């Protein structure tokens, strides 16, 4: 085979007596496989951050990529990119286009609704997310199609939360859905909550919320295995806790939303 005798025996020795470095690589590959089985919707960066959060094991991004590539680990989720801008017409001005600077909690809340089926039952989940740290601060679930109360119930919870910080103004951003533009919805808003809306047919104007909607459905069914064996409302509540307290976020340098809030806004830690 054209291989030197010394090289052959050196290779054979490595197989029977692997180095500590090789043993560590195998252990870490098995660890990534274990986490991939639990969270198949995510890639190597997120898995690496989750392992660091859970176990304290610190691995470089390059090393994590090597482990996942060796194990053939790839995210199984499909995420869609929106490219075509829509009609610039809007009911409320789009404050995001004014280069709004977000530097504190509850300064800018984004909202949207996502729908899914569990055991053939249709559900709508409305979310309100703090754009400062991606924390879901309010949510509401309904099994009725086009249930306006999911939006309004979540909004009421948000208003109650905002009352703890009356000195701050808040921007509430959404798309131009029928409920968000309705009189009933907007009449609930106190004066210190300013409305902002995406351009019609332009999901990229609310890109953070659109991205979270995609991840949530992937994680609910691929990672947390929502089955409907328990009340779906309870399973969703458990997921919100996971999202806020146990899920590392790339945009937060792989901190969880609660970790980010605790680290950078101690005064807001109680909210």
The tens digit of pLDDT for each residue in 66-106 reads 999 999 999 988 766 555 555 444 478 888 777 778 888 88
Q: Looking at residue 104, what is its pLDDT?
A: 84
Assess whether pLDDT exceeds 70 at residue 261: yes
270 confidence band (pLDDT: 50, 70, 90): very low
pTM above 0.85, yes or no: no
CA distances from 43 to 17, 38, 51, 132, 241 (A): 32, 12, 12, 24, 21
Assess whether pLDDT exceeds 50 at residue 202: yes
Q: How would you classify residue 82: left for phi > 0, otherwise alpha for psi between -120 and 50, otherwise beta? A: beta
CA distance 59 to 38: 19
Report how far Cα 90 is from the mean position of its chain's Cα atoms. Answer: 27
What's the rounded mean pLDDT across residues 253-269? 78
From the CB of residue 271, how many other CB atoms can be counted at a distance below 10 Å?
Answer: 15
- Quick check: 106 and 132 in contact, CB under 8 A? yes
Mean residue pLDDT of the chain comes to 86
Share above pLDDT 90 across residues of the chain, in percent, rounded to a whole number: 44
Element of type H or E holding 10: helix 5-16
Nearest to 214 by CA among 75, 48, 68: 75
What's the rounded mean pLDDT across residues 147-156? 90
Better pLDDT: 94 or 136: 136
The tokens describing 34, both together, are: 């274990």
Element of type H or E holding 156: helix 148-162
Assess whether pLDDT exceeds 70 at residue 266: no
Torsions phi, psi for 64 (to 5 deg): -60, -40
Q: Which of 10-19, 130-139, 156-165, 236-245 has the lowest mean pLDDT?
A: 10-19
Q: Looking at residue 81, what is its pLDDT?
A: 58
116 pairs with which residues across the strands?
123
Q: Looking at residue 88, what is its pLDDT?
A: 44
Give residues with Cβ within 8 angstroms of 39, minimum separation 6. Answer: 46, 47, 50, 219, 222, 223
């Amino acid at each position: 085979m054209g291989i030197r005798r010394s090289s052959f025996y050196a290779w054979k020795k490595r197989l029977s007596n692997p180095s500590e470095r090789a043993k560590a690589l195998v252990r870490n590959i098995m660890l990534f496989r274990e986490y991939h089985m639990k969270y198949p919707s995510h890639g190597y960066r997120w898995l690496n951050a989750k392992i660091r959060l859970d176990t304290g094991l610190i691995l470089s991004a390059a090393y994590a990529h090597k482990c996942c590539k060796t194990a053939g680990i790839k995210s199984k989720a499909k995420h869609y990119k929106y490219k075509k801008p829509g009609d610039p017409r809007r009911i409320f001005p789009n404050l995001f286009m004014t280069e709004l600077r977000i530097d504190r909690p509850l300064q800018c809340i984004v909202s949207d609704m996502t729908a899914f089926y569990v055991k053939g039952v249709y559900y709508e989940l409305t979310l309100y997310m703090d754009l400062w740290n991606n924390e879901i601060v309010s949510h509401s679930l309904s099994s009725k199609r086009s249930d306006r109360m999911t939006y309004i119930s979540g909004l009421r919870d948000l208003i109650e939360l905002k009352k703890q910080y009356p000195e701050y103004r808040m921007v509430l951003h959404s798309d131009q859905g029928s409920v968000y533009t309705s009189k009933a919805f907007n009449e609930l808003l106190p004066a210190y909550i300013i409305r902002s809306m995406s351009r019609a047919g332009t999901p990229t104007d609310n890109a953070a919320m659109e991205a979270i909607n995609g991840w949530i459905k992937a994680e609910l069914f691929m990672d947390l295995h929502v089955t409907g064996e328990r009340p779906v409302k309870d399973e969703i509540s458990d997921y919100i806790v996971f999202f806020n307290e146990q899920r590392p976020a790339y945009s937060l340098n792989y901190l969880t939303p609660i970790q980010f809030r605790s680290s950078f806004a101690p005064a807001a830690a109680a909210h």
